């Protein structure tokens, strides 16, 4: 894995830079076209086209751009506008908070119970190692709500609301983080639900409905992709005891067996931010996302040679497995 990583690092160049610039242009054009079409949203075809383009733009911005840029995948270009330290994404979660919970916690403690806060997102029981409580009986409902409001769940992730309620978080730190979320959320709400609808004048309501629908589609899609990446039935979770003596080799192994891929073509990979290659992403989170498809056959071959599971499947299969897990873990 170290050798494979170095090969990709050494081969980054103009083609990779052209790729990310091309995606940025595509995303911005889709957003502009979508918002313009929604100004004629009183006409059903225009509303459908505008909402579809805007939802697609939001998905691309969050997943193929925001997520990957903030991982530092494009820092090597030294472009101040496409850099992990400067990118602020179209999401209610402040980028600095996301980088803390995602880059510094989730990617270090992947699927380790009570360390990786992505395990259940503080709401869901994902593994038998989590103590059952009657509140989990309704977790299929919680999961559906979380999917619809996913950007808000992500926004509150670093605030550590559940730890704050249990007295295990620093109130001052949580309050400061909550203030940052409130400021970022205020800007997002004003942009999507006030400013753009007002620009449409008498067509305020169609634009408002289109923006709300685009955000809903983006939220549900992001939830689906992320949960399919770590919580299909065959993917294990770990305890702190499992990783006490973990070395570099053990970390690589845990990334492989604690992640799952989604099979599909180029469009699937693009729309998932290449998180359809979740295994490769967790092995190499700071390598350019467009190179994961190239890496994947080599990683799979290594897994076969070393007897490690390489979990992959279609989106319906993976998501069905996630739903079964959520329902099963709702019961004692």
Dump pLDDT digits (tens) for 182-225. Answer: 999 999 999 999 999 999 999 999 999 999 999 999 999 999 99
pLDDT of residue 144: 97
pLDDT of residue 280: 98
pLDDT of residue 213: 98
**Alpha-carbon torsion angle 58, 151, 180, 21, nearest 10:** -30
Cross-strand bridge partners of residue 261: 312
pLDDT of residue 169: 78
What is the DSSP secondary structure assignment for residue 112, as one 8-state letter?
B
pLDDT of residue 315: 98
pLDDT of residue 30: 98
pLDDT of residue 137: 97
pLDDT of residue 151: 97
Which residues of the chain fall short of a pLDDT of 50?
Answer: none
Dump pLDDT digits (tens) for 79-98. Answer: 999 999 999 999 999 999 99
Helix or strand (DSSP H, E) at 312: strand 312-313
CA atoms within 13 Å, Cβ hemisphere of 55: 19
pLDDT of residue 85: 97
pLDDT of residue 143: 97
């Amino acid at each position: 894995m170290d050798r494979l990583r170095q090969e990709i690092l050494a081969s980054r160049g103009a083609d990779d830079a052209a790729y990310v610039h091309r995606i940025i242009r595509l995303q911005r054009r889709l957003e502009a076209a979508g918002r313009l079409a929604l100004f004629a949203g009183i006409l059903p075809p225009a509303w459908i086209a505008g909402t579809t383009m805007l939802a697609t733009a939001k998905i691309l911005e969050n997943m193929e751009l925001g997520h990957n840029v903030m991982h530092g995948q494009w820092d090597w270009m030294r472009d101040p506008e496409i850099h992990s330290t400067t990118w602020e994404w179209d999401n209610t979660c402040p980028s600095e908070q996301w980088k803390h919970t995602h880059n510094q916690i989730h990617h270090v403690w992947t699927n380790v119970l009570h360390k990786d806060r992505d395990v259940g997102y503080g709401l869901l029981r994902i593994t038998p190692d989590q103590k059952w409580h009657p509140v989990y009986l309704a977790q299929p409902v919680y999961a559906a709500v979380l999917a619809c409001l996913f950007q808000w769940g992500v926004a509150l992730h670093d605030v550590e609301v559940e730890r704050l309620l249990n007295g295990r978080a620093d109130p001052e730190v949580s309050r400061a983080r909550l203030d940052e979320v409130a400021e970022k959320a205020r800007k997002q709400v004003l942009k999507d639900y006030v400013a753009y609808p007002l620009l449409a004048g008498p067509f305020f309501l169609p634009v408002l409905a289109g923006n709300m629908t685009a955000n809903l589609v983006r939220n549900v899609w992001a939830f689906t992709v992320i949960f399919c990446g770590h919580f299909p039935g065959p993917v294990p979770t770990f305890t702190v005891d499992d990783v006490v003596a973990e070395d570099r080799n053990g970390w690589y192994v845990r990334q492989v067996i604690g992640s799952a891929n989604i099979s599909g073509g180029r469009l699937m990979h693009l729309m998932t931010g290449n998180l359809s290659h979740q295994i490769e992403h967790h092995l190499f989170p700071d390598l350019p996302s467009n190179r994961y498809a190239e890496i994947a056959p080599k990683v799979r071959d290594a897994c076969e040679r070393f007897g490690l599971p390489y979990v992959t499947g279609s989106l319906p299969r993976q998501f069905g497995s996630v739903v079964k897990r959520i329902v099963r873990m709702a019961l004692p």
